[in-house]
Amino acid sequence: PYPAYEQLRSRSPVLHEPHSDLWMVFDYESVKRALQDHEAFSSIVAPPSAMTSQWLVFADPPRHSKLRALLLRAFTPRAVASLEPRILALSHELLDRTMARGEMDLAEDFSVPLPLRVIAEMLGVPTTDLPHFKRWSDVMMALGYAVAGSEEAARVQREFSEVTEEMRVYVRDLAGQRRETPREDLLTRLVEAEVEGERLTEDELLGFVQLLLSAGHETTTNLLNNALLCFLEHPEQLARLRAEPALLPSAIEEVLRYRSPVQAMFRVTRSEVSLHGQVIPPGKMVLAMIGSANRDPRKFQDPDRFDISREPNPHIAFGHGIHFCIGAPLSRLEARVGLSVLLERMRDVALASDAPWEPRRAIHVHGPTRLPIRFTPGT
Ligand code: HEM
């Protein structure tokens, strides 16, 4: 999408698409403003009847502030940091299964299961229930793929309603167990968290589990896949990274900028908003193009160059302002641990197929559906 962004950004950074009456914003300053200025740009994009209207990410203050405070009580830096040994063990375990073959589909064999298992274990879901979790997550991801108004969208909505009811029963049951017998897990912390004497309602708790499952999974999957793609496309940068592994955290930031896993977020204008001389009326859907903002030459020098030591790198891949991604420390940790294990155990990594990789069919997440690779096994 990047050459298209470039053209649009330089010609019309604010674009009105008349067919769907959608406003798209492409330049860094305006995207940042749309993400952060919640007085003018509301996050309430889901209809009140939909389960997604319970999700923190689709709420405005004051409700947003209460929900976010509750989640932050549970999602502590300590809880995240304590996961490092487990992420390391899981990364090795996943690679042990494929190492000897000398080839794998990085998506299916590594980038999908790693974050899914981490978030499931963090919540405290028994491993035996992982197949349910995977299905629920797939249905929720399909929500964002289907084009609004299409037959497929209607089908996906029906599936999402079914899944929501299954999840409701499941979460109610598991939450009941945790109330009786608390454990050291995120679910217990969510059940017990209080803000101003208030606890989460059943719908709010279910909303959190759904949001964490979808936000905590596919995004990090794409970060892992996109990182490997970037390294393979820029072998000289990979060689630098191998020579100087301490560059990994900054390389991950550059992947987040260069191939942002979340390409765009929706907002709805609350009042009339003027951007670059264009007037967006109230009540209009706006798509803030994060992927384009992160390549804006007015903010980033030589933006189409992938440079693992870029400094400064003020990308907005995790959003900006009151909705800034709560999972950022977790996904940075998963990427750092997962990628260092990959690079350590694999030599001469190359794409296993000449066919161009197939992108995920979605406007909001960006990355390959499959990523077949070949390599020389290390240890
Ligand atoms: C919010 C990106 C991983 C949980 C956001 C937002 C972005 C984002 C752009 C802001 C949305 C907005 O402004 O409307 C990403 C990327 C990730 C990632 C690129 C990985 C590379 C995760 C993980 C979790 C998570 C691992 C949790 C386990 C959340 C939550 C919010 C959020 C709960 C809502 C925060 C709020 O509305 O206050 N994320 N995310 N994310 N993210 Fe992430």
Q: Which of 325, 360, 366 to mutate to test the pocket of ligand 1 (most atoms within 8 A of CB)?
A: 325
Tell me the C-alpha distance between 222 and 93, whole Å.
20
Helix (H) or strand (E) holding 134, with range, is: helix 130-145
Tell me the C-alpha distance between 261 and 365, whole Å.
5
pLDDT > 80? residue 154: yes
Ligand 1 atom with the shortest distance to the CA of 59: 37
The total of structural domains in the chain comes to: 1
What is the predicted pLDDT for the residue at 107? 92
Q: Are 364 and 144 in contact (CB under 8 A)?
A: yes
pTM metric for this prediction: 0.94
Residue 344 in tokens:
């350590």
Ligand 1 atom with the shortest distance to the CA of 64: 38
329: left (phi over 0), alpha (psi -120 to 50) or beta: alpha
Helix (H) or strand (E) holding 165, with range, is: helix 151-180
277: left (phi over 0), alpha (psi -120 to 50) or beta: left
Ligand 1 atom with the shortest distance to the CA of 266: 14
362: left (phi over 0), alpha (psi -120 to 50) or beta: beta
**Residue 32 belongs to a domain with what CATH number?**
1.10.630.10
Ligand 1: which residue has its CA nearest to atom 2? Answer: 318
Q: How far is CA 141 from CA 47, 71, 114, 153, 344, in A?
A: 18, 22, 17, 12, 31
The binding-site residues of ligand 1, defined as CB within 6 angstroms of any ligand atom, are 35, 43, 56-57, 68, 119, 211-212, 215-216, 219-220, 223, 261-262, 265, 317-319, 323, 325-327, 330-331
Residue scoring higher pLDDT (149 or 351)? 351
3-state secondary structure of 122: helix
State the helix-helix crossing angle for 218-233 and 235-243, rounded to 10 degrees.
100
In one-letter notation, the amino acid at residue 6 is E
Its domain, for residue 278, covers 2-377
Ligand 1: which residue has its CA nearest to atom 18? Answer: 219
Please tell me the chain's helix, strand, coil percentages from 3-state DSSP, rounded to the nearest 5: 55, 15, 30
Please give the distance, rounded to the nearest whole angstrom, from the Cα atom of residue 331 to the centre of ligand 1. Answer: 9
What is the predicted pLDDT for the residue at 221? 93
pLDDT > 60? residue 84: yes
Ligand 1: which residue has its CA nearest to atom 32? Answer: 325
Strand partners, 268: 42, 285
Q: Are 137 and 221 in contact (CB under 8 A)?
A: no
Ligand 1: which residue has its CA nearest to atom 15? Answer: 318
Strand partners, 264: 289
- Number of Cβ atoms within 10 Å of the Cβ of 238: 18
Tell me the C-alpha distance between 249 and 258, whole Å.
14
Tell me the C-alpha distance between 28 and 297, whole Å.
9
What is the predicted pLDDT for the residue at 100? 86
- Render pLDDT for 280-323 as a digit per residue (tens, 0 to 9): 999 999 999 999 999 999 999 999 999 999 999 999 999 999 99
Task: Compute the average pLDDT of residues 58-69.
Answer: 93
Confidence of residue 261 (pLDDT cuts 50, 70, 90): very high
Predicted complex: ipTM over 0.90: yes
Map tokens 């389960």 to a residue: 51
pLDDT > 80? residue 360: no
Please give the distance, rounded to the nearest whole angstrom, from the Cα atom of residue 375 to the centre of ligand 1. Answer: 32
